Amino acid sequence: MSLSNYRSMSAKKIEQKPSPEDRAVSRFSSYWGSLDPDQAGLARFVTIAVEKVGGRGKACEIMGVSPVTLDNYRQGRTQPKALELMKLLAAEAGRISAESDVAIEPIARQLQELKKSSLPSLEGLGDGVVKIPRFDIQASAGSGQLVAAEEADGYFAVDRQWLSRYVSRSATVGVIEASGDSMSPTIRNRDLLLVEVREGATAEEIMRGGIYVLTLDGGLVVKRLQLDRDTLLVLSDNAAYPPIRVGADEVADRVHIHGIVFWTGGALETHR
């Protein structure tokens, strides 16, 4: 065998075909140029994970989304919800199957009905003062106790222009009261919380930080959330309360997000 033939055969042996992950990244990376680094990183992460679980069809089954929605995630046009992303991560690790379902706690359904029937949108209410309904729901910053009323227990009046600094005109907003000290010093016992009511949260939103109102194991709580691979961490600001770890295969049964807190306020300590 000539030296040239040997070199040619050796070159062929060391040539490697691009992996499915590499091909997918090459295909979708053209969409990521205009995204900020966090959005682009998340889109790339989803793109690679989709290939690792078996491709587009399998990933759609696992996450419970349509092919169009999944493509939007991979292009970075929209971001996956936290539960969708955790299902994808867990499936990649072989911990849950595509048959996993999302079970909503009875209390979550109750709060959803409150939202539909009682919380007005800010849109179309006119200029000036906005009346935000206050509900007799105590979101515990401690033990997770829940007391829910069927209708608004008064209103919290705010200036429309002030409110528009924090939420869009189409937002659904409510006022609830915090109970407990697990989120101290950020949120104190009996502080009022202005909450943008919306079901779920995207992985990008959770990674950006924020304080959420959620049902955890049947009790309404106010906590921070953090993603740690295929685990959701439920965090308190008070160091006396340890983090609660919720595996991807437990999230559907244990956690349901109702909204995000965008403002807190309360009396001075001398008047509590």
pLDDT in tens, 170-215: 888 888 888 888 999 999 888 889 988 887 888 888 888 889 988 8
74 within 8 A of 68, measured Cβ to Cβ = no
- The fraction of the chain above a pLDDT of 90, given in percent, is 18
Is a pLDDT exceeding 60 seen at residue 232? yes
Which alpha helices (DSSP H) does the chain contain, by range? 3-14, 20-28, 37-52, 56-63, 67-75, 82-92, 106-118, 160-163, 203-208, 248-254
Confidence of residue 100 (pLDDT cuts 50, 70, 90): very low
Is a pLDDT exceeding 80 seen at residue 216? yes
Which CATH code for domain 106-267? 2.10.109.10
**pLDDT in the model for residue 244:** 94
For tokens 């950020």, the residue is 186
**pLDDT in the model for residue 147:** 36
Q: HSE-up of 199 (CA within 13 Å, CB side)?
A: 11
The DSSP code for 29 is G
**pLDDT in the model for residue 81:** 81
**Residue 181: closest CA among 240, 233, 260, 224:** 240
Mean pLDDT for the chain overall = 75
Residues of the chain with CATH 2.10.109.10: 106-267
How far is the C-alpha of 145 from the C-alpha of 107, rounded, in Å? 12
